[in-house]
Structure 1
């Protein structure tokens, strides 16, 4: 090794942040060399480098040992300045370990031992400690004092650290322009300094700022690139995962946010990095609350309160106490002092300029104060919350308009309140347009729920069924109504991952069909979810290009004209009660139907019985029991849903379901067995689908997937009905079928189908070269007019908040398909072939899709065939 011992120690110090593993190796060598030569200063610098490298590598307790040793060795060597610099590093490690008081004591000693540039560096470190404690204004003061000294001295490394941390402090205060400028500058400086790990940390922080500002695709992109760099250097990931969990929660990807937060907790606990742990516990508390687990939310929030209190972080303690109150409010168990506690939290959070948290505290305080008969105090908090409605990120402005609407409603200004609610919804819809990924947009619609619910309550109080229908429509599958933006150029990463995924799934299916088991299959099955994640993550990083402007809900008059004698039933839930708005002729009515829990219990019985009836291996006794269960449960469910709606008569029906009823095959209800029924995500979408013209003589596409008994004969029969040659394996590939689908009048696919509940956009039908995914359907420029999927579960979607739908069928409808015919359940393919042949003959003879299904059910046999036929529904135009 060349150079003096001190030079070697200083090189290890330089590498501590850039390459922690190499820095440990060099520091260890420098310590041994310094011990042999009794060079106390060099040894102190090397021990400090060793400790810093261990800290960056996630070994915090070991780092503390070396950093304390660095201080002691420097003092023994009579080098107070070296000791002061070591105290700077020790102080920050202590705050990460959750010992904020000790950290402030150490950094105070360092400041007293240092002057000039070294003093400015210590000020920077004190700012970082204050930043982690949540004292952002004080942190900014330290940075502003230190930066001119560091810049004048040409100290690029510490200037980088100042602008990096100042960017974070500004972000917490929602000073986004300055924050982004600082963090982009930090990224440039780290690159100039040849600190690749620091570039990764700067990218991670920029992702945090972009997420707070609302640019989710860009935030996800920066987060992914940062993770790649940080992992490559073996450094700590807890902070990045914490920030990502908060980002995912901001767009209501709740289960993913919870899983990411749990991974962050595991990282922090492994590293024994306690300072950020309670912040992640708040993400877990919020996730639990959004998942309806008030007890879990309360448990996480209370633990966060205890940890923040021990760390002497009063601002974060106030935030955690707000989380406790929110959980108690959700459980209906707010203590008598809850209103005062909410007011105190609001005051603390507003004082430190945390606007989003202060907003939630004020809204909660207003609700609790009104419950306690203090309307003037409640209005004061609503007024303060409403003041944010014109500035800040979109979600904050929308919450401000929600507060303004509540204020106006309490003053009896119903129309003005509705105007405020519509403004809030418009802001959210415009924000949602920047989100390119369908699943992110669908989940982000959850932010609309409270605005829509308040509008619905105001409409019900006003007594106008037409206004009730308007507000129910504003909360129904709104993402499917947004005109799709121009597709971005084919992303090579997505295309490659899709190709690899298709090949992998095909290999898995071939091995399973051949009865093979072993390492080869295990490896492929482990590879599949990794490829799916690559596709999902790459797609989410593509931004949207639409306006986000939703069409106004379709008026009753326009609906009545399109219904042309049919009836509309639109279902919604309020306060645990299932309700309906009906439109028959030009008249609309509102009905209370039944308790939601009662309806869902009956639905479970119906679906359980149907699943048994479509199986081939059920004995006669089991089949008879399932038939009895189906008959009884369906009759009771029919009475709850439609039995108290005499205006429907025997008219054809358009049904807009809600919640779990989205997966009901309506033909099993006695009153629907012999009438045409179309199921639509919303009345507005049905109206748009019904308005789409069919091209006379348009192209008919018929294709079969592999490994499905009866599929080939089925598509040949369907092809004969329409006079076309079907595509068969191995020619029926994804690329060819997609190409033929473009703008087709009718598409029929007979294949294995699959609904993927946890990743609905990976729902698929299996073709010759692998799965045709919902992601593939999104790539169509012109969706086919009518799609028939003779494939299990392909009519079923995953239902997100606000009755947003995700699944293969939903993607077809959202892309412009007017109607889709498919089963809600797994169906046996041999019986399906008979059903589909009969259905297509009816269709070719001029029947509408819903009417053709009614006639088909009347002709198929009993037992399995009847149950399978009942499983098919028409989504979209239908009647």
Structure 2
């Protein structure tokens, strides 16, 4: 260090106050720094001003501009003869160079800054070097620098920098899985921030609370904290790149892979355009690659992961490079392109991640085991899977599930079927507990994707044993489980209620404008903004593990961690086969199902490795039949729905013959030889998620039967247990129907005392109040199904859309519901075997039966179908029987026949 220079030369008043001001009020600090430069300051003060401008551009602007200002700040500090000022400017420059991807230069600058700085300044420089090393992933060196810096910062009473050092140490603990240590550090830092005016740092503290919640597996809390941090950053006018990276990781963990991919790609492009951090761009590429794998696009993942790995290598970021390699290997395995080197690469990556103390070492070992199995190398697979299986006893639930997957794969490779079933049971129980911490229906359904492999492994085992009953039990274990309990009711949050009301009003104006052919872009943008706000708030809702449904649902299981027979034991193979440990107080039991069915037959359609199997339940037994291909059936069902739509729109051509031919092909693919054993009048079909859009009444063998559809056999049993309320009929007529909802006056006359909401009186609050706890509700209104966001699927009321979010505010949904509008019965398959849509919202809330359309229908042709349906209901028929008889009574022309086939009875009555 040079001698003969003052460490603290005179400066003009409060120039040094600009540096803390930068993270309290960034815009004001930038303005004051520019004002200071325009006033002809001393070299010392000009150095401070350039540093403030450089730091602003480093975090909020262009990195090249930032580096230019920081170089100028360092040169002016040297001219002023202030080693402390020069060390501080040099340290800031070093961090900027690291973020720009010029790692060697950045670390060199930081080394020189550490040599220059003494005392308090030296401790701050050590923090800066620790931060740079954190960016690089050198966690051991980070902790070493902080051990030197923290005692000095505390001794000098430097609250701001002490809090920053504790925050940094907390994030390092999180990176290596030491969540409790991290939470202690982050809490201590937050207490220090509370006594300062550092608003940006306070927002960062909230963000870090979200990160800690995420690492501990609490997704709603993570999203809640991230939402609050985002609001604070927005008030300060500062970018949120790190928050975006972390939020994308949470979305990915929550099963929202497509959303995470879109957000990460957009943020990376934004950074590229403005010349922002090269380090953060690489991290966004890695997040996007992981999301692309989860979204089923491994080729896109390979492109992004390869680019991220290349950038991490250039930036000398070993921690990040190892994680990019892991994602790249996952993507390659998903394409099926594996070879001998793949196992070695995965094993080396697992060893490297273990060396770095990364929690992802378990995932890497699991990947190595999968790859070895794919290549038939069982001995190698056993070694890697055994290492991964050790992860089942530590960490948050989702991480432990990976350990149980590894254990199940080990057992399957060794032919130990009982051990496979036990591992699958334990893993799925863990996921049940995790899902019940989630309040939002969307998150609960999407979270089931984590258990799809465990469910499939168990199904393969019992299929090989030829035990139809156990196959039924395991098929039920992970089917429509999100519908087993009511969703958490949306909180009485005034901001949420405000946004929902505003969304309804804006959506109504948007629809009016579109109908008049004069769309208003500003209104459409506001509609999308409100939709995002509502969804963000509902995703943050918390659930309660072990919650039991109240009277609103009639009866249904909670999904807590109570006791009950496990699926892995031999005692489950007999007539009492079922599950209880994770399914709550109403475990699924095959004997109960068979007893409740009576003379009814239930056909549960199970798909295993792309093949369709039919489990025909009834007359005291369960029989299995092999049918066709799932892929072929899905294509044929799509063709059938398209032909139904063409008939509804009265397109010319002989569509009826095409439909009938398609129905025969669907029957062969979906029922196969089971058709010859359909000897009863009543049939319940339980399809997998991908096949809920099949027009089942189109199948010749089902056309004349009393037919209903259920998401699961367990859901059918729960619906059968629901006690109907004594009375209450509600008829709703929405706006804009071609016929004006012509069936409603006829239904009003039929029911006499029914409550009718129409002609401006069918506003959402009134409709919900009337429906709540009613015995029967009929809604004639335009329906819209949103495949992109199923929770915003809606029925159009006089004041705007009635969405799934609105239905979830009901204390008890109507016992029976008839939706005569287009698409009202469509359900979106998500997660493993879960469903989202209007019908899926009603079933767990106490609705025992629904009649709804799966495709657009002709308004005029619907009228006679609905009138016939309700006449039969008044005579004492249930929904399925009434729908069958109403179809029979329709005219024989193609339009009316297609209209009848477009509706399904969903549920039990």
Deviation at 1:545, TM superposition (A): 2.5
Query: Is residue 749–residue 790 contact of structure 1 (8 Å, CA) maintained in 2?
Result: yes
Match of 1:387, SS state, is helix
Per the alignment, residue 537 of structure 1 pairs with 536
Per the alignment, residue 203 of structure 2 pairs with 200
Provide the rounded CA distance (Å) in 2 between the counterparts of 1:643 and 1:190: 68
Query: Is residue 793–residue 803 contact of structure 2 (8 Å, CA) maintained in 1?
Result: yes
Q: 2:759 aligns with which of 729, 734, 738?
A: 729
Map 1:668-707 onto structure 2 (within 5 A).
Answer: 668-695=698-725, 697-707=726-736
Per the alignment, residue 15 of structure 1 pairs with 21
- More deviation, 81-90/366-375: 366-375
Provide the rounded CA distance (Å) in 1 between the counterparts of 2:835 and 2:376: 40
Match of 1:644, SS state, is helix
Deviation at 1:806, TM superposition (A): 0.6
Query: Is residue 339–residue 369 contact of structure 1 (8 Å, CA) maintained in 2?
Result: yes
Provide the rounded CA distance (Å) in 2 between the counterparts of 1:686 and 1:192: 57
Query: Is residue 389–residue 399 contact of structure 1 (8 Å, CA) maintained in 2?
Result: yes
Provide the rounded CA distance (Å) in 2 between the counterparts of 1:656 and 1:54: 59
Map 1:201-240 onto structure 2 (within 5 A).
Answer: 201-240=204-243
Provide the rounded CA distance (Å) in 1 between the counterparts of 2:95 and 2:505: 49
Q: 1:404 aligns with which of 402, 407, 411?
A: 407
Provide the rounded CA distance (Å) in 2 between the counterparts of 1:145 and 1:769: 64
Deviation at 1:59, TM superposition (A): 2.6
Provide the rounded CA distance (Å) in 2 between the counterparts of 1:328 and 1:489: 43
Per the alignment, residue 668 of structure 2 pairs with 639
Deviation at 1:801, TM superposition (A): 2.3
Provide the rounded CA distance (Å) in 1 between the counterparts of 2:239 and 2:533: 22
Per the alignment, residue 599 of structure 1 pairs with 633
Per the alignment, residue 175 of structure 2 pairs with 172
Provide the rounded CA distance (Å) in 2 between the counterparts of 1:710 and 1:336: 66
Match of 1:569, SS state, is strand
1:91-113 CA deviation, whole Å, 9 max, x = no partner? 11111112222221111111111
Match of 1:266, SS state, is helix
- More deviation, 374-383/387-396: 374-383
1:737-776 CA deviation, whole Å, 9 max, x = no partner? 2112122111111111111111111111122222221111
Q: 1:94 aligns with which of 78, 97, 105?
A: 97
Alignment pair present for 1:504 and 2:533: no
Provide the rounded CA distance (Å) in 1 between the counterparts of 2:39 and 2:412: 76
Alignment pair present for 1:525 and 2:555: no
Match of 1:194, SS state, is coil
- More deviation, 190-199/602-611: 190-199
Provide the rounded CA distance (Å) in 1 between the counterparts of 2:293 and 2:541: 29
Provide the rounded CA distance (Å) in 1 between the counterparts of 2:43 and 2:531: 55
Query: Is residue 6–residue 45 contact of structure 1 (8 Å, CA) maintained in 2?
Result: no
Provide the rounded CA distance (Å) in 2 between the counterparts of 1:765 and 1:44: 63
Per the alignment, residue 343 of structure 1 pairs with 347
> Are residues 235 and 484 of structure 1, via their aligned partners in 2, closer, same or farther at CA, if it must alter by over 3 Å?
closer
Map 1:111-510 onto structure 2 (within 5 A).
Answer: 111-269=114-272, 270-355=274-359, 357-485=360-488, 487=489, 489-510=491-512
Query: Is residue 656–residue 894 contact of structure 2 (8 Å, CA) maintained in 1?
Result: no
Q: 1:661 aligns with which of 688, 691, 703?
A: 691
Provide the rounded CA distance (Å) in 2 between the counterparts of 1:482 and 1:415: 29
> Are residues 374 and 602 of structure 1, via their aligned partners in 2, closer, same or farther at CA, if it must alter by over 3 Å?
closer
Query: Is residue 484–residue 546 contact of structure 1 (8 Å, CA) maintained in 2?
Result: no
Match of 1:389, SS state, is helix
Deviation at 1:712, TM superposition (A): 4.4
Query: Is residue 822–residue 874 contact of structure 1 (8 Å, CA) maintained in 2?
Result: yes
Query: Is residue 689–residue 835 contact of structure 2 (8 Å, CA) maintained in 1?
Result: no
TM-score (norm 2): 0.92
Provide the rounded CA distance (Å) in 1 between the counterparts of 2:430 and 2:320: 29
> Are residues 490 and 29 of structure 1, via their aligned partners in 2, closer, same or farther at CA, if it must alter by over 3 Å?
closer
Per the alignment, residue 740 of structure 1 pairs with 770
Match of 1:31, SS state, is helix
Q: 1:777 aligns with which of 799, 803, 807?
A: 807
Alignment pair present for 1:873 and 2:873: no
Deviation at 1:155, TM superposition (A): 0.8
Alignment pair present for 1:612 and 2:617: no
Q: Which runs of 5+ in 2 are unaligned?
A: 1-8, 547-558, 561-582
Query: Is residue 483–residue 546 contact of structure 1 (8 Å, CA) maintained in 2?
Result: no
Provide the rounded CA distance (Å) in 2 between the counterparts of 1:181 and 1:643: 61
Query: Is residue 850–residue 907 contact of structure 2 (8 Å, CA) maintained in 1?
Result: yes
Provide the rounded CA distance (Å) in 2 between the counterparts of 1:237 and 1:129: 19
Q: 2:844 aligns with which of 814, 837, 846?
A: 814
Provide the rounded CA distance (Å) in 2 between the counterparts of 1:542 and 1:271: 37
Deviation at 1:30, TM superposition (A): 2.7
> Are residues 463 and 778 of structure 1, via their aligned partners in 2, closer, same or farther at CA, if it must alter by over 3 Å?
same
Query: Is residue 573–residue 579 contact of structure 1 (8 Å, CA) maintained in 2?
Result: yes
> Are residues 482 and 712 of structure 1, via their aligned partners in 2, closer, same or farther at CA, if it must alter by over 3 Å?
closer
1:791-813 CA deviation, whole Å, 9 max, x = no partner? 11011111102121111111001
Match of 2:760, SS state, is coil
Deviation at 1:638, TM superposition (A): 1.4
> Are residues 608 and 215 of structure 1, via their aligned partners in 2, closer, same or farther at CA, if it must alter by over 3 Å?
same
1:71-109 CA deviation, whole Å, 9 max, x = no partner? 222223332322111111011111111222222111111
1:704-755 CA deviation, whole Å, 9 max, x = no partner? 1122233443112112222224222222222222112122111111111111
Provide the rounded CA distance (Å) in 2 between the counterparts of 1:279 and 1:57: 17
How many residues are treated as equivalent by the alignment? 862
Query: Is residue 244–residue 260 contact of structure 1 (8 Å, CA) maintained in 2?
Result: no
> Are residues 661 and 371 of structure 1, via their aligned partners in 2, closer, same or farther at CA, if it must alter by over 3 Å?
closer
Provide the rounded CA distance (Å) in 1 between the counterparts of 2:741 and 2:36: 74
> Are residues 752 and 99 of structure 1, via their aligned partners in 2, closer, same or farther at CA, if it must alter by over 3 Å?
same
1:427-448 CA deviation, whole Å, 9 max, x = no partner? 1111111111111111111111
Provide the rounded CA distance (Å) in 1 between the counterparts of 2:379 and 2:517: 72
1:311-365 CA deviation, whole Å, 9 max, x = no partner? 111222121112121111111111321111111100111111111x211111111
Deviation at 1:6, TM superposition (A): 3.6
- More deviation, 104-113/94-103: 94-103
Deviation at 1:660, TM superposition (A): 3.1
Per the alignment, residue 577 of structure 2 pairs with none
Match of 2:262, SS state, is helix
Provide the rounded CA distance (Å) in 2 between the counterparts of 1:328 and 1:510: 49
Deviation at 1:688, TM superposition (A): 0.9
TM-score (norm 1): 0.95
The CA RMSD over aligned residues, in Å, is 1.9
Deviation at 1:19, TM superposition (A): 2.2
